[in-house]
Structure 1
Amino acid sequence: MLPEEITNDLAKTVDPKLAEQLIQEFMSLEEAFLLKRWKYTELDGGRFAEVAARIVYSIDSTNVSLTKGVDDCLKYVDNEQVQHHFPERQAAIHLAKVLRSIYKLRSQRGAVHVSPTYTANEIDSRLIVESARWVLSEILRIFVQSNREQVAEAVRNLARFPHPLIRTYGEVPLLQSVSFTTEEEILAHLLYATDGLVISELIATIPKDQSGIRRAVKKLAAAACRQIVQRGQRWFITDLGISRIEDRIAKEIAQNGK
């Protein structure tokens, strides 16, 4: 599932503007984390929590608000004296707890207010990004009609591609950078393709010399490299390949001033 597809599916159940904001804020959060911008990761985590809280509130109260604060949204969820409409009451309660944690960490650990004893760091940022991934997964699980594996894969793909480096045009994906080597393009497309690709699909997808693509595939699969592996006729990216291409994607984003 692509970001646009996830947004469209989510918008069938929740307010379309909130659905769009949720995916955009999540991708901004992932991008900041990928670039090791810890302060911005925490700030973006707070923005994500704001949108997610409004979604939970809008469903639970049947009153859509694009401006209501996190605390006011979650107070409604916690209030046992009002009528609740969220499909899974316990899920709403758990979401409220996690969102409150994200928001408080963002505001109390130095991302918003200057502290003489603390600066934003990777540990706090990792907690925020993993919590946001869980929140998004829960919202998609409840409101998008896909099974758990599809939802998990959708979140992983958003995390891997926070910047739209690959777009699909006429059902054919295109890497929107001319600076990647042939090996890097192969890795990027295999990272993007959850079910792997056969060699003919790689050749059709990558606008480079066919013989060069075949040589690059052979090199990436060699024992000394092991960044891709063949199973049947399909090629899949390995953990070694994922590590290499994610580092390359981060550099590409940084070079473009993101």
Structure 2
Amino acid sequence: MSITPATALAALPEGLRDDVVESFNHIVRNYREHRWEPAELNGGKLCEAVFTAITGHIDGQYAERSTKPRNMLSACQALEHKTGASRAVRIQIPRMLIALYEIRNNRGVGHAGGDVNPNLMDATAVLYMSKWLLAELIRVLHDLTTEQASRLVEGLIEREVPHIWTDGSKKRVLKSKITWKQKALLLLLSESEAISEQELFRWSEHSNASRFRREVLRPAHKEKLIEFDEIESTVQLLPPGIAQAEDLVNSI
């Protein structure tokens, strides 16, 4: 059975799975909104959730919710002695947890008196360490490649995009006086996976499907903003498209 973002963490109890995904999405959302301190603070919550998950993986029994060890450094170092487990869960993931937890606790985020105030550089480190941790957790749970696990992590990101309204079944762009390409990018930014060409066309409220394909989708594909699969009729944002869409969100 193929692994999807929805099933990537299915091995974890629901409460623990929610702790992992929600803390990760808080980091992503706050980073996107340039809220450095909340982004860094949620790094600590993710550490606790991932620590609980890998401890359960090693012991063969998961806790229902994440718990905070009395001393994160000592608890992570103790995992190195669990010789029956893989190096990833004994050493590599715990050492990354220590680094991430250090930013949360001793860089002016969790407590007063740190060396620096919350900032873009530290928040960026938190974001990418968090993505790495989640990808490694998924890789270990499913014996995947790093590339496969990384793609699943991107699929877990909740994209709450300003100017996009939804009732759960359809979406609308609320901002007027932007181009059709910009509308398409905003709509795609609100999705974590590929969607059908027909769905994107309906959501955009363009009047002509052939022109939408010819004048919006194909040029955006050529610019490497989207991956437009004309055989499967699916559309997905590429990294340059994500960057352009996020710039658009911040400018309108």
Question: When the two structures are superposed, what TM-score results if normalisation uses the length of structure 2?
Answer: 0.73
- Structure 1: give runs of 5+ residues left out of the alignment: 253-258
The reply on whether 1:56 has 2:54 as its aligned counterpart is yes
The reply on whether 1:214 has 2:211 as its aligned counterpart is yes
Q: Which residue of 1 aligns with 2:131?
A: 133
The one-letter code matched in structure 2 to 1:178 is L
Matches within 5 A, 1:15-54: 15-54=13-52
The reply on whether 1:115 has 2:121 as its aligned counterpart is no
TM-aligned CA distance change 1:158 to 1:82, over 3 Å? closer
TM-aligned CA distance change 1:237 to 1:89, over 3 Å? closer
Structure 2 residue aligned with 1:178, among 151, 170, 174?
Answer: 174
TM-aligned CA distance change 1:166 to 1:44, over 3 Å? farther
The one-letter code matched in structure 2 to 1:179 is K
Moved over 6 A (4+): 164-168
Matches within 5 A, 1:54-93: 54-61=52-59, 62=61, 64=63, 66=65, 68-70=67-69, 72=71, 75-76=74-75, 78-79=77-78, 86=85, 88-93=86-91
Q: Which residue of 1 aligns with 2:9?
A: 10
The one-letter code matched in structure 1 to 2:211 is R
Distance 1:9 1:222 in 2: 33
Q: CA RMSD in A?
A: 3.9
Query: 1:5-46 CA distances to partner (integer Å, 9 max, x unpaired)?
Result: 6355413x2222111110011000001111111111110111
What is the number of residues matched between the two proteins? 239
State the secondary structure of the residue aligned to 2:170: strand
In the alignment, is the contact (CA less than 8 A) between 1:54 and 1:68 conserved in 2? yes
In the alignment, is the contact (CA less than 8 A) between 1:228 and 1:237 conserved in 2? yes
Q: Which residue of 2 aligns with 1:156?
A: 154
In the alignment, is the contact (CA less than 8 A) between 2:184 and 2:204 conserved in 1? no
TM-aligned CA distance change 1:251 to 1:34, over 3 Å? farther
Distance 1:80 1:195 in 2: 38
Query: 1:118-171 CA distances to partner (integer Å, 9 max, x unpaired)?
Result: 211111111111101000001111224765444222222344x443769796xx
Q: Which residue of 2 aligns with 1:255?
A: none
Offset at residue 107 of structure 1 (A): 0.8
In the alignment, is the contact (CA less than 8 A) between 2:76 and 2:98 conserved in 1? no
Question: When the two structures are superposed, what TM-score results if normalisation uses the length of structure 1?
Answer: 0.71
In the alignment, is the contact (CA less than 8 A) between 1:190 and 1:237 conserved in 2? yes
In the alignment, is the contact (CA less than 8 A) between 1:54 and 1:65 conserved in 2? no
Deviates more, 1:47-56 or 1:107-116: 107-116
Offset at residue 57 of structure 1 (A): 1.8
Distance 2:130 2:13 in 1: 19
Q: Which residue of 2 aligns with 1:256?
A: none
Q: Which residue of 2 aligns with 1:100?
A: 98
The one-letter code matched in structure 2 to 1:60 is I
Distance 1:243 1:81 in 2: 39
Distance 2:125 2:104 in 1: 11
TM-aligned CA distance change 1:116 to 1:82, over 3 Å? closer
Query: 1:35-61 CA distances to partner (integer Å, 9 max, x unpaired)?
Result: 111111110111111111111122223
In the alignment, is the contact (CA less than 8 A) between 2:226 and 2:238 conserved in 1? yes
